[in-house]
Amino acid sequence: MTLKDAFQKWQDSTLKKTLEKFKERKKRFATSSEIEIPRVALPADDGPDYAEKLGFPGEYPFTRGVQPTMYRSRFWTMRQYAGFSTAEESNKRYRFLLDQGQTGLSVAFDLPTQIGYDADDPIAQGEVGKVGVSISSIRDMEQLFDRIPLDKVSTSMTINAPAGVLLAMYIAVAKRQGADMHQLRGTIQNDILKEYVARGTYIFPPAPSMRLITDIFSFCAQEVPFWNTISISGYHIREAGSTAVQEVAFTLANGIAYVEAAIKAGLDVDSFAGQLSFFFNAHNNLLEEVAKFRAARRMWARIMRERFKAQKPSSWQLRFHTQTAGSTLTAQQPENNVVRVTLQALSAVLGGTQSLHTNSMDEALWLPTEKSVRVALRTQQVIAYESGVADSVDPLAGSYLIEHLTDEIEKGALDYIRQIDEMGGALQSIERGFMQNEIQNAAYAAQQAIEKGEQVIVGLNQFAVDEVLTLERLKVDPSIELGQREKLKKLRESREQKVVKQLLGKLVEAAKGTENLMPLFIECVEHDITLGEICNTLRGVWGEYVAEGF
C-alpha cells in the first residue's frame, strides 16, 4: 500500500470517527506567510515502506500520537503543580490558577502526608506544610477544594504510598459536594516502584504495596472509570540523574510489573489498562526529548498488544503527563529558567503530551510567587495559542534525525528491559540495586561533565555574573504546624470514638485478608479517621520497608 492510499484509509476510518466526537478548534491552520498547514505532513517519498514504518496518529503503534486530531481538537491539560502550608492557602492558589486559565489542578503534599503521618505526629515535627500542603483528614481535603466543584475539574495528586487513602478522601469530598464519583476525572501517582528506585517516600514492603495498587485498579475500574489509577513515573528517575533511555526503560519496566501484578490478582488486562497513565520529564535536549516521547508510546503499544495480548486499542495507548525538569533550574540568573522551561515544554508538546506542568523560574530559590507561576502558565498558553506547533499532528515526524533518535532510544530501552526481564522483573532488579546503580552512574557522569565544563550550563559554569542570592522567601511560618495540631485535636474530640475503634479493628482484619480495601478507606475517612491512623494501622499489620545498601 502506498503512503497516499494509507493516508486516505486513515482519513476514512480513524479520523472520521474522532471528528464526529470532537469539533476542531475554529481556526485557520496556516503560517504567517499564508502557507497552509496540513493536518498530517507527508513526505515526498510515497513508498510503502515509509507508510508502514511511520503510521498515522491515533493508530497502532501510536508513534505519532494517541489521537488522530491531537491538539487541533483540544489542547493538552494545562496544570501547575501547587500545594504549600495549609489547605486554606493552597485553595487560594488553586482558585488563582483557575482564574488565570489553568485547566487542571495538580496537588503537592508535604512530606508527612506523603509518608502517611498526621501533622501532630512527633515524627512530623518541623516538616508540616514545608514542601506541599498538609492533609491529615477529610476536613483538610474539604478545605483544599472549597468552592472548586470536583465534577468540573481534573485533579492530579502526587501521592504514592498512601494514595488509596487520599483518593478515598477526594471521593468522599466529591460525594459531599453532590458529585457522582463515576464522573470524577483525575490521576493519582500511586507508583511505589519508582519510590524504591529514586524518591524514597515509601511506607510498606513491596507485596502489600502492590496489593494496594491493584485494589485501586479494581475499585476504579468499577466505580471511578474516568480516573487514571496510576501515573507510572519516569520523572523522578530522570531527576535522580538517569539518561533519557534509562528513563524510558525503567518506567516501562515498572509499568510491566504493575500489569503483571494486576493480572496475577485476577484482573483482565483490558479491564484496567485503559486507566493507566504515565509521567515523564522534559529535559533540555529538545530533539532527544521529542524522540523519547515518541519511542515510549510505540514501545508501550507493542508491549501491551504483543506481551500482554490486550485487545482494546485504549489498552495499547500510552497517555502521559509531562513536567519540565526541576533539576535543570539554576538559582543563578533565575530568569534564564524561563528559556529552559519554554524549550522543555515545547518538546513535550511536539512529543504529544496529554497534560503539562511548567516549572516557575524561581523554584531553585523558594516556593513560586504568583507572578512566576503566572509566567509559567503563560508559557504553555503562548505555545498553544501563538507558536503554531499545535496546528499539525506530530509536526517533526519524518525528520531524518527525529526518526533516527526515536529508533535509537527504543533500541537502548528495549535492551535494558531485556536485562530486567532476565533478573525476574522490575521488583527483582530494584532489590538487586540494578536500576539504582545505573542511575547513579549516569548522574555521576553528568555531574563530572558539568564540573569539567564539557556540558555548559548557562549562568552556572559559563556566562556567570556577580549576584547576591537570598532564600528569605523559603521560610514557612511555624504557626502553621501549631494550627494543624489544634485542628486535629478538635477533630479527635468531636468524632464518635466507638465507631472509630470499630472501623480500625475492621481495617486490621481486612489488611490481613484479601478483600479490596478502597471501600473501607472511604468509610474510614467519612467517619473522620485520619490519614496517620489508617497508615499506622496498616503498619501494624504489614510492617515498613527498609532499603538495604547495595
Average pLDDT of the chain to the nearest whole number = 93
Which 3 state secondary structure label does DSSP give 79? Answer: strand
Residue 48 has pLDDT above 80, yes or no: no
What HEC string does 148-172 produce?
CCCCCCEEEEECCCCHHHHHHHHHH
Q: Which ranges of 423-514 would DSSP assign to H, the alpha helix?
A: 426-431, 434-451, 479-494, 497-512
Predicted confidence at residue 47, as pLDDT, reads: 65
Predicted confidence at residue 471, as pLDDT, reads: 66
Has this prediction a pTM greater than 0.85?
yes
C-alpha cell at 523: 468509610
Determine the straight-line distance between the first and last CA of the chain, rounded to whole angstroms: 53
- Residues 6+ positions from 238 with CB-CB distance below 8 Å: 244, 247, 280, 281, 283, 325, 327
pLDDT tens per residue, range 296-327: 999 999 999 999 999 999 999 999 999 999 99
* Cα(318)–Cα(62) distance, integer angstroms: 8
pLDDT tens per residue, range 213-263: 999 999 999 999 999 999 999 999 999 999 999 999 999 999 999 999 999
Which sequence spans correspond to the domains of the chain? 150-451
Predicted confidence at residue 384, as pLDDT, reads: 97
Predicted confidence at residue 192, as pLDDT, reads: 97
Domain 150-451 top-level CATH class: alpha beta
Task: Give residue 103's pLDDT band: very low, low, confident or very high (50, 70, 90).
Answer: confident
Average pLDDT (520-549) is: 95
pLDDT tens per residue, range 174-210: 999 999 999 999 999 999 999 999 999 999 999 999 9
Average pLDDT (400-418) is: 94
Predicted confidence at residue 550, as pLDDT, reads: 44
